[in-house]
Every structure is written in structure tokens, then in C-alpha cells.
Structure 1
Amino acid sequence: MSYIETYYRRALGPDAVQRPALEGRVKVDVCVVGGGLAGLTAALELARKGRKVCVLEANRVAWGASGRNGGFVSPGWAARYKNIQRMVGADHAKELHRLSIEGMEDVLKNVQGLAIQDAKPTHGILGAVRYEATHDLKAHRDWLEKEFDYKIEFKSQDEVRQLLVSPRYYQALFDPNAFHFNPLTYARAVAAEIERSGGQIYEGSAVVAVALNGATKIAKTAHGSVDANDLVIASGGYTGNLIPRLKHSYLPIATYVMLTKPNRELIASAIRTDAAIGDDRRAGDYYRVVDGGERILWGGKITTRTTEPRLLGRLLHKTMVSTYPQLKDLDVEIVWSGLMSYARHMMPQIGQLQPGVWYCTAFGGHGMNTTTIGGRVIAEAILGETDRYKLFAPFGLAWNGWIAGRVAAQLTYWAYQAADLFRERKSV
């Protein structure tokens, strides 16, 4: 199967390696189901420690959300920190935030250690707000430095509007540690390193059945099977009914990204920074200039159904123009969508289903750092090195509510939008 048309797919060129499908019977120490960043990271950590590993991917490496996202790598989780603290307490919440920072740092270490220059990492993410928030942002900056020794910078409204020529923005926090890059190139480089370390990756190899009750776990595909001591399910928003308990514990949520046509001069009239930009609204806008300022990659909007993205492209363009009226004549070139998986508590689902069976999914809309640390802690558990995966135990496999859950998720999103709009209007 080919990658869908995205900005990242274009960067691969015509010679992108396609791996063979599984045929016959394979025996390994660990079988990873899902070739996204969670599964690839787990497989990489295990292969580096000498474990015999194979990855079964239904389509292509990073075919889903891992290779289609905005490319932002920064600390944090999809759930807000205050909500996490409410669920697990202050000390536990701090440990989880430290993990999220570690995940970001691990991605950068891989980029540097594997010399993935084609991923084009660029430091700096600007978190802008659309309402007056000077006091709150400075307090948050100070809290991060005090509790985590994590330094970020406050930007005043004047400083923000020198960078972002828009009437919508007020203040911002600039994170020089965070970065943005090409996630598909990164994921494919990680996959190549797994193979260099002795691991096996099979594409076009959807798992159609599993046998989990014996000492040996078995994963079956259309033309083969894998026997393993440990099985890791890391297939995210595209997981089928392979393990019903997992399928019923998260919701697949669609998100959308557009790429504009080239117009360096027009774009420079609006965006005067190579930092990536996001706002603090729930499912708010996130965007960055690419190709040296020639184009904008702009993401946002979520739905609980996989809508054909053309309509969403018009909505994303409308949002861009409402933020930067001067970009009204900047046309859209392509639009694509991807499925994320969200748990009701909006935290990842990371843990052990039964002896030898692990899961690592539901990273929501904040997946680049969190899939990485998720894959790492699962690998550590299999290796017997740490039990850090238990930090996620309080969140569990909560039932997603199925159809009612989808309706509730969409209504919640609309409620967040209304609250965001009310807060912004108060600042006008």
C-alpha cells in the first residue's frame, strides 16, 4: 500500500523502501503490532538490547498519525496538567510531566545520533494565546523553571505581533527546547535502525488473529504467523477488533492538515519566524512555515467521523484567513487527514493486559514525545529494567462509550470551542 499524498510523502521521493509482507512462520522474543512511533520506539529499544524483535505493520511504517501530523515535538500530554494532577495527585503528575520532557529529548537524541538530517529539525515552538494572559503565562513560565528546571521565554503582545502579524494574538510562551521536523522521515530512519540492529519489519502485514493464552503468544497475518514470548499492541487509531477490550477503550478521532501553495512574499507579510506556532485552545490551530518560507503547513479541527478532507480544507483555510486576513489569496494545495486515538481521560493507555501482552496506544493529539516515551517504558518493562509503565496505571482502559462516546466527544469539543470563544471575546 502506498502512503497517502501529504507534504511528508513528497519528501520521500520515488525510491522509498517498501518492506516485504510476512510469509511463513517466524519466532522472536518480542512481536510488536503497529509500525507507528510507539511500536517503532519499543522495537528499537529492544533490538538495541539484543532482543530478537519483529514489527508487523498493516500498511507502511508510520502510515497513520505518526507520519501525517504537524511535526511538533514538545513536552506535555493531551490531557491538561491540572486534570492529570486532579486524577493522580501532585507528585505523580510531576513524574508524568518529567516523562513527557524525556520523550521529547529522546526524539532529539535519535535525530542527532542517527544523523537524520532529512528530518530537518528546527528548534522553537511559540505557544500563543488569543486573550490577555500576561500574569498566567509568566506564572507558568516560573513554575516550569522552579519544578522542572525547564526554561522558556515570555513574549509580550508587542513582541508576538512582530513575529505574527495578526490582530488575534496577545502574548506567548516561546519554548527553545521544543522543535518541529518531518515525522515520516524520522520514523523511517528509526525503522532502518531497527533493521540494522537485527530487528525485522514487515509491511502490508495486518494481524488478523492472535492467540494469547499460552506461554508463547501468536500473531497471525494473511500469509504468516509470529511466535513470541511477548506481544506489544501499538496500533493506535487504526486498531481493529483484534483485542476487543482495547478497541472499546478509546475513540478514533480524525484531525486535518493542509499545505498551502507557494508564496514566500505573501507568507512573510504574516509569519516572520521559523518557530512553529500553536495556541492553547482545545484542538486549536498549529502551523509552521516549510520549504524555507515558501509554504505554510496548517493543522487543526477534529471530528469523530472520518470526513472527506476537502470540506475541512476550506474550513482550515477560513481559520487561517481569520487569523491572518492578508493571506486570503493564499490557496490550498493539498489537504489530508489522519486518525488519532483518544481515551476518555485523554491520557495514553500504557500497560500490561496479561502476562506477556502489552499495550501502548491512545496518545491523542500530543503524540510525538509521548509515543516515544511510551514505547521506551514498555521496552524497559519487557527487559526487566524498570516498572515506569505503572505510572499510567491510574488511567486504565476506561470504556469509550462507543456511539454515545463519539457523540459525547463531539459535544465536548464544541463546548470547548464555545468556552474558548467566550474567553477571547472578553479580551477584545
Structure 2
Amino acid sequence: MAYPDTYYKRTMADQTTRPALSGVVECDAVIIGAGLAGLTTALQLTRAGKRVTVLEAESVGFGASGRNGGFVGPGYATGGDDIARVTGKDAARKLHHLSIEGMDFIRDNIRTLGIEDAQPELGIMSVLRYDDGESLKAYAEETRREYGYELEYMDRDAVRAVLKSERYFQALRNPNAFHMHPLNYLRAIAVEIERLGGRICEQSPAVSVDFSGAEKRVKTSGGEVKAKDVVFTTGGYTGSLNGKLKRSYLPIATYVMVSEDAPELIASAIATKSAIGDNRRAGDYYRLVDGGRRILWGGRITTHAASTAGLVKELRAEMVGTYPQLAGLKTELAWSGLMSYARHLMPQIGRMSPGVWYCTAFGGHGLNTTAIGGKVIAEGILGETERYKLFEPFGLVWAGGLAGLAVAQLTYWKLQAQDWWRERAA
């Protein structure tokens, strides 16, 4: 299957295609899934001199890692207080520092590997849709005190000077966070893995696994890989190969659209290069691409197959409701993709059994968390650290199957209604 038709596919810099696995390969580690988590794990292992084979059912970056919003900033899909209630305050602090490290890790790779096609742009704004500047000031102060991390407070006038909408009030801008072209980043990481001696096999879905011995075996239709360690990094596209993993997350679809080329019209509404996300629990996110010539706008989730065109109509209504001056802006391209969400809203990172690792459930967490997940799994395989154990309290709990999907959809609709009422009560 080819890449879905996305903005990222149309602007993909590296066009390399890789052959499928053929014959028997022996190596140190086999990684199933060539998204950000899998390729980061492979990168760190090959940097350490390990022989690595990556099996990808489609093409490098085919899944959520290659067609998301491109946001790279610290934090998790759930709040710090919720994390601390499960792990304790000290572990929660360490987990937050890991998310910052993941952001810096991606930035460092872009710089040291010269990945200009990733097109990193500094700044992410988190914007309130109701008037409550004091809460933002308090949060910024807590972040500075707890983590030594600075956030920039923007009052209503400062926000509306760059986001010309009456829907917005105050904001926090993270000057160290950034947004980028995720597929170009992934493709460049794949090239570096191969330069270091790693092997990436596309069109090579794993069809069976044997974990019974010290040497793990993973078979595809065309070959077999034998390795001491196997890592599952398949996200929302996990099949039935590993039942425990598949039962532990919910596949959630999200939707993205990109506008036509209309820089002057877009500038009448958005006058910042920062990416933007609103504070609603069922909110939208967007950013300028092509040097401000287009808007990439994402949001909405469904737990079942839905019409992309229908969901894009909802996204357009939200965009125009926020920026009436963009009513004439046409949508040029839209797509959807599956993310994996765990019931506890944290990533699932750890060791299932000796030599069998997992790194998944990154829906809503941003690219930074996916990257640090791959990094700590590699450290665990190499015996360098056991930082992956920080995620043990958020393990492979059953996600509820069809009932879990129904609850997730109802919860999303409930959050949308709560957001609506809160804005109108402000």
C-alpha cells in the first residue's frame, strides 16, 4: 500500500524505497514498526554498534508518526497531577523531565544530522478560549519552580495581536518547543540507521513470532529474523500478532486538513509562526506551513470508521467559527490516521518478558514522548539504564475492547459538550 495522500507525502524529500525481507537474517534486535518509536530505538541501538533489523508492514513513516500535526513539546496527554497520583511526585517529576529530554533529542538529531527538510519552527502557543489569565500565570510559575522551565505569558491583547479572533483570551507560549515536518524527519532517521549498518525492510509485515527461546524468531511472508531482542512499536496499526498488546490500547482516528495556497488571506487571521493548540479537552491544533502560505489544521476523533469528508466539514466549521475572515479559504487536502490510546492516557513502554519489549500508545502525547520512549527502550536493551521502568505504573491494562471504544467516544462527546458550556458561561 502506498502512503496516504497527505501534505507530508506531497512534500516528502526522501523517496527511497526499500526491499522486503528475504531469507533468514540474524541480528541483535528486531524492531516491528518503522514509525518514530521504532526508528528511534533502532537509531540508538545502531549508534551503540548493535546489528538491527526493522520490519515495516508498509513504508517508513506510513502510520501516525508520518502524518500527524508535527508538534514537539514537553508533557503528556494526561496532566501532571493525575500522573503524580499514580506514581508519586518524584517519579512524576522524572517523567516530565523525560518528555523535555525527548523534545531536545529530536532537536539535537535535526541539528547534528543536518535534517533541513524537517523544517523546524520554534514556538507552540496554548491558548485559552475563556478569560482566566491568573490560572495561566500560576501554571507558568509552577513550571518554572518545579522544572526550571520557562513559559511566556501572553495577555489578551498580545494574543489577539497575532491570532485575530475574538474566541481567544490569554495564552502560554513555549519558546523551546517547536513544530516540524514529521515524515521528512523520519525518513532522514531511516537513512542514518542504514548508514550505521542497520537494515530496514518495507512491505514486510510480521506474520508469526516465537518467543519460547533465548533467540527470538519473527517471520514474514518472505523471510525470518532471529534476534536476542524484539521490540513492538506498531501503534494504532497493531494487528493480532501480539494479543496482549492489541488488547491494551484503543485505535482512535484523528483528522487533519490543509488549506489552499493563500498567504494574504491567512495572514489576515494568523500572524505568528508558532503552532497553536487551544485549551479545550476536545480542542483543535493548527500551524502555518509552506512559509505561511497554507494552514494545517487538525482535530476531532472517532472510534469507528467515519467519513473524512464529513469530519473535515466539522473542522472547517470550527476554523471559520474561530476566524470568520477565513470563510473563503478552501481546503485542498484532508486525511485521517489511527493513533493508539491506552485507557490510562499514558504511553505504554516496557518489557513484556526477557527479550520482548513494547513501546506504543502515543496518541495525544506529541512526537517528543514517542522519541523518548524509543530512547529508553534502547537503553534498557543495552543495559545502560532502567529508565523505562518509570512507565511501569502505566502498563498493558485491558482497554475494554468494543465497550472501551464506545466509552471513549461517549467521553469525547461529553468533553465537547463541557467545553461548549464552559466557553458560553465565561
Q: RMSD over aligned Cα, in angstroms? A: 0.9
1:16 aligns with 2:15: yes
CA deviation after TM superposition for structure 1 residue 283, in Å: 3.5
**2: CA distance, partners of 1:392 / 1:70:** 25
Match of 1:156 in 2: 155
- Provide the secondary structure at the position in 1 that maps to 2:11: helix
**2: CA distance, partners of 1:266 / 1:18:** 38
Higher mean displacement: 276-285 or 239-248: 276-285
**1: CA distance, partners of 2:105 / 2:225:** 29
- Provide the secondary structure at the position in 2 that maps to 1:12: coil
CA deviation after TM superposition for structure 1 residue 279, in Å: 1.1
Match of 2:183 in 1: 184
1:306 aligns with 2:305: yes
Within 5 Å, give how 1:3-402 maps onto structure 2: 3-12=3-12, 16-402=15-401
**2: CA distance, partners of 1:306 / 1:61:** 24
CA deviation after TM superposition for structure 1 residue 82, in Å: 1.9
CA deviation after TM superposition for structure 1 residue 263, in Å: 1.0
**1: CA distance, partners of 2:241 / 2:366:** 22
CA deviation after TM superposition for structure 1 residue 4, in Å: 1.0
- Provide the secondary structure at the position in 2 that maps to 1:111: helix
- Provide the secondary structure at the position in 2 that maps to 1:366: coil
Post-superposition CA distance 1:367-388 (Å, at most 9, x none): 3001100000000000000000
**2: CA distance, partners of 1:385 / 1:171:** 43
Post-superposition CA distance 1:62-88 (Å, at most 9, x none): 100000001110001111222112221
Match for 1:91: what amino acid?
A: D
- Provide the secondary structure at the position in 2 that maps to 1:132: coil
Identity of aligned residues (%): 58
CA contact (8 A) 2:129 2:167 kept: yes
Paired residue total: 426
Post-superposition CA distance 1:119-177 (Å, at most 9, x none): 11000111101011211100111111111111110000010000000010000001110
**1: CA distance, partners of 2:282 / 2:105:** 25
CA contact (8 A) 2:231 2:359 kept: yes
TM-score under structure 1 normalisation?
0.98
Post-superposition CA distance 1:191-248 (Å, at most 9, x none): 1110011100000000011001111101110111100000000010000011100000
CA contact (8 A) 2:342 2:361 kept: yes
Post-superposition CA distance 1:12-58 (Å, at most 9, x none): 26x60111100111000000000000000000000000010010000
Match for 2:299: what amino acid?
A: G
TM-score under structure 2 normalisation?
0.99
Match of 2:418 in 1: 419
Match for 1:197: what amino acid?
A: L
**1: CA distance, partners of 2:208 / 2:24:** 14
CA contact (8 A) 2:72 2:177 kept: yes
Match for 1:3: what amino acid?
A: Y
**2: CA distance, partners of 1:84 / 1:371:** 17
Match of 1:2 in 2: 2
Structure 1 spans left out of the alignment, 5+ residues: none
CA contact (8 A) 2:73 2:366 kept: no
Match for 2:291: what amino acid?
A: G
Match for 2:261: what amino acid?
A: P
- Provide the secondary structure at the position in 1 that maps to 2:241: coil
- Provide the secondary structure at the position in 2 that maps to 1:215: coil
**2: CA distance, partners of 1:201 / 1:283:** 37
- Provide the secondary structure at the position in 2 that maps to 1:346: coil
**2: CA distance, partners of 1:97 / 1:115:** 27
Post-superposition CA distance 1:272-315 (Å, at most 9, x none): 11111001222411001111111100000011013231111111
